[in-house]
Structure formats: structure tokens, C-alpha cells
Amino acid sequence: MDFLHTFLKIVSQKLSWVTTDYSIPWKRYVLAFSWGNTLFETYLLLRQYPNYSKTKPPPALANHFTADVFAKSQNYGRDKAKFSLVSGIYSQLLETAILFFGGYAWAWGAAGSVLAYFGYGPEYEIPQSIVWAAILYAMSSIPSLPLEVYRTFVLEEKHGFNKTTPWTFVTDIVKGWFVGLIIGGPFLAAFLAIVRWAGDRFVPWLMGFLCVFQMLMIFIYPNWIQPLFNKLSPLPEGTLRSKIENLASSLKFPLKHLYEIDGSKRSSHSNAYFFGLPWSKHIVIFDTLIKQSAPEEVEAVLAHELGHWYYMHPTKLLTVSQLHLFSILAVFPPFLHSPPLLRSFDFPAAVAAKPPIIVSFMLFQMILAPIETVVGIGMNAISRKFEWEADAFACELPAKVGGAKGKANVDAMADMGDRLGKALIAIHVKNLSTVWVDWLFSAVHHSHPTLTERLKALDEFKMKRKASVKKEL
């Protein structure tokens, strides 16, 4: 622990200029970067855009996309790209207005007035921080509502994906605010209380708290939050259920519950995932996926998902995100005591003299944005690598399964790679996914390799497996 604090102290000393230097135009710097980022996003969209004018799918997909489906997917992609372009610029203008007119400082004053109305002064920093966060949330989310309405009821509707009714749409928003308040309020209060109590030695305490919070959410989310939005019901007995149970048991996957989720209530996009603690996992499959694919193909999608578990991808991602979090928090302390930072964002001298923790933290995060963009691109690259591995796992399943029914299992799973390929094609066709993708656009935005890349890799895995089986003979 002492080593850690010595290290953190050195970092703070190196950055001590942050607390005293009034000459750094923090706000201008944040504005410049966010515009730079929006321009870059626009450039990526413009690179991608001509792909929607292609008249034929990539050769590898020629047999799977009919002319009609391909044309539909191109139209859907084009409409989504236009929407991204407009909504990106709109959000940027909104953010610029908030920054330019000192919105963050104004909101802090407004939160103070709300508290004063109830008879509480500025010494009640934590309640004021919660009200401030709520005001900021409203300031950024309410103006974005028209975009959400357009996306759901015009864009998705036009292409046949929207299943949301206006009633569900409105209740979802209200429920979201409610959950945000119930979970977010106490979370923020605990976060601020820890930093205040531990002073500049908050880093390990805060990391510990965030770990505990994430563990708690693994219980809270499926039991109390998700049921507000979706219905999870046990997957009925039948071919699919027994196939998945057999798959899980032959891999010693600690399957506790197997659910079907009514994703079709909002959208006809399809999916499957698992979650839980190391010794007790739950699998959730979208009803849309079950409806559109044969049990053998859904099983192959699950084989891919279990590949993520087998190679401990969630744990690896968690480790990376903890390291990321640690490096952010390690640099934070000098920003915690920086009147110049608050002054640059238009906070009055009286507030800046003793910066509220939440304000410093939010401004600090804005300053980190360029680094976060790079980290995001890196995380996508890691995620794509994990997707390759999970696909390879599904292909190599016959070699990985064994147990009581060893030989029968191996034979039954020999064609898992082909089935996964079929399921992926079906998912992409149903979702009208874009199949022509610019490489730079994909590198920045995609957490999954493209369909063409995945099918090609599945073929290569199959060849490799055949070659190695021959060698064994």
C-alpha cells in the first residue's frame, strides 16, 4: 500500500502545475478536441458512405444475400449513416452551446438554488452534487429526445425493425430515470463520501468500492432492473434446451438458468449472451433468434458465446478496464484541487476556491476525452480479437468436448463451424447488416469483425482442423 501511495504522490507532484497555473485554456482545449473528433467521425462516415452505392454483395456472400435483401440492407445502412451524420453534428452543437455559455457552472448554481429552497446551504456538497448531475443529465438528454423518437419511429420503423409502441417508449424513459435516481443517486453519494473521507489516498478505496458495486450489479441488474424492461422466462423443454444443456455440461460450464428474453417487444434485432458469477452462470437467448434460426444454429451461436467464457474473455476485459480505471484515478488527485480548472469553465471564484469533488471529476473526464478515444479504439481491437477466438472455439469444439458421451458428442458437434456460419448469415440477413465496410471506419467503430471476414476465417479454421485430423491419422 505504501509503495502505491508513494507512486501516486510522485504522479501528483509531476502534475502539480495543474493546481496553480491559470494560463491553460482548458475549455478551449476541450472544445477544440471535441470538434476535431466530430470532424474525424464525419470523415469516417464519408469514407463509408460510397459503400452503400455498391450494387452487389461481396463475392463470399453472393449466394446468401438475394438481390432484394442486399438492396434493403444497403438502404438501411445508408439511412443509418445519414442519421449518424446529422445526430453527431447536432450533439456536437449542443455540447458546444453548453460549454460556450458556461452551462456546467450555471447548473451548479441552479442545484444550489434548489437546495436553498429546501433550506440547505452549500455545505451540503453531496446532495448538491446529485442535483447537479440530474440537471446535467436533463440538459443533455432532453434535447436528444427528438433524435431518439426519429430513430425509433421513423428510421427503424421504415425498415421494419421497430416493435416499440409510443407507450413502451415513454414508460422506458420514465423507468430509466427512476432507475438512474435509485441506483445512481446512492452510487454517487458513496463515491463522493469515499473521496472526501480518504482525501488524496482515495485511489485504492475507490477501486475497491467500484469492484464491490460491479459485483452487486450482477445480482441487482437481472433481478430488479431488467424485469422492469423485459420479461425473462425459462427456455421451454425441447430440442434447443437439451442441446444447450448438453453443450454446457460437456464443457463444464456452470449453467444455472437458461432464459428466453422477449427482445421482440422493442425490436426485431437478435442476440444471445451469458452473465453471472464464476460458479453460477445464466444464459439469455432472444426470442427473435430462436424464431429465425434452427435449434442446431442457435446451439452454434451459444458455442461461440461459451468460447468467450472458455477463454475468460469477460475476465480479461474486466482486468483491462480495471487497469484503465486505475490509471485514470491515479492522475486525478491534482485536478481535485485546481481552482484554475473550474475558473476556465466559468465557475465563480467562490466555488472554484474549494472545488466540489464531482465538478472536478467531470471536468477532468472531459480533458481526458482524447485519451479515451484512443482507448476505445484499442478496446474494439481487443474485442474483435476475442470474437475471432470465440469463432475458432466453436469450430474446434469437437476437440474440446468429451465426458460421458464423448464420441457421440464429438460427432454431433463436428459441423459446428458450418452451423455458426449459417446462423451468422441468418442474423445478418434478418438485421439487414451492412456488408461492405471501409477498413478505417470498421477499425474505429466495430467491436466485431465483419460477416465476410468471419465466414472467411471459419473456412480457414475448418481447413486447419481437417489438416490436423489427417496428420493424426
* Closer of 235 and 424 to Zn ion (Cβ): 424
Active site residue 156: no
* Closer of 81 and 300 to Zn ion (Cβ): 300
Min dist. Cβ of residue 308 to Zn ion (A): 6
Count of residues interacting with Zn ion (CB under 5 A): 2
Min dist. Cβ of residue 391 to Zn ion (A): 8
Q: Which long-range contacts (CB under 8 A, 24 or more apart) does 389-392 make?
A: 389/307, 389/311, 389/313, 390/304, 390/305, 390/307, 390/308, 390/311, 390/313, 391/304, 391/307, 391/417, 391/420, 391/454, 391/457, 391/458, 391/461, 392/307, 392/457, 392/461
Binding mask 281-320 for Zn ion (x = CB under 5 A): ----------------------------------------
Catalytic residue among 305, 415, 459, 472: 305
Q: Rule CB under 5 A: which of 337-396 touch Zn ion?
A: 387, 390
Min dist. Cβ of residue 80 to Zn ion (A): 22
Question: Beta strands 280-286 and 272-277: pairing type?
Answer: antiparallel
Min dist. Cβ of residue 390 to Zn ion (A): 5
Q: Rounded to a whole number, what is the distance in angstroms from the first to the last CA of the chain?
A: 56
C-alpha cell at 199: 482525501
Instruction: State how far the Cα of 156 lies from the Cα of 175, in Å rounded to an integer.
Output: 22
* Closer of 75 and 321 to Zn ion (Cβ): 321
Active site residue 260: no
Q: Rule CB under 5 A: which of 211-230 touch Zn ion?
A: none
Distance of alpha carbon 414 from its chain centroid, rounded? 33
Question: Residue 445, annotated ligand binder?
Answer: no
Question: Residue 64, annotated ligand binder?
Answer: no
* Closer of 162 and 293 to Zn ion (Cβ): 293
Min dist. Cβ of residue 394 to Zn ion (A): 10
Q: Which long-range contacts (CB under 8 A, 24 or more apart) does 434-437 make?
A: 434/51, 434/52, 434/73, 434/74, 434/76, 434/77, 434/80, 435/57, 435/58, 435/61, 435/65, 435/70, 435/73, 436/51, 436/52, 436/54, 436/57, 436/58, 437/48, 437/51
* Closer of 81 and 390 to Zn ion (Cβ): 390
* Closer of 99 and 283 to Zn ion (Cβ): 283
Binding mask 405-444 for Zn ion (x = CB under 5 A): ----------------------------------------
Min dist. Cβ of residue 374 to Zn ion (A): 23
Catalytic residue among 156, 297, 391, 396: 391
Question: Residue 304, annotated ligand binder?
Answer: yes
> How many angstroms separate the Cα of 424 from the Cα of each of 153, 450, 458?
27, 10, 11
Positions annotated as catalytic residues are 305, 391
Known binding-site residues equal: 304, 308, 387
Known binding-site residues for Zn(2+) equal: 304, 308, 387
Q: Which residues bind Zn ion (CB under 5 A)?
A: 387, 390
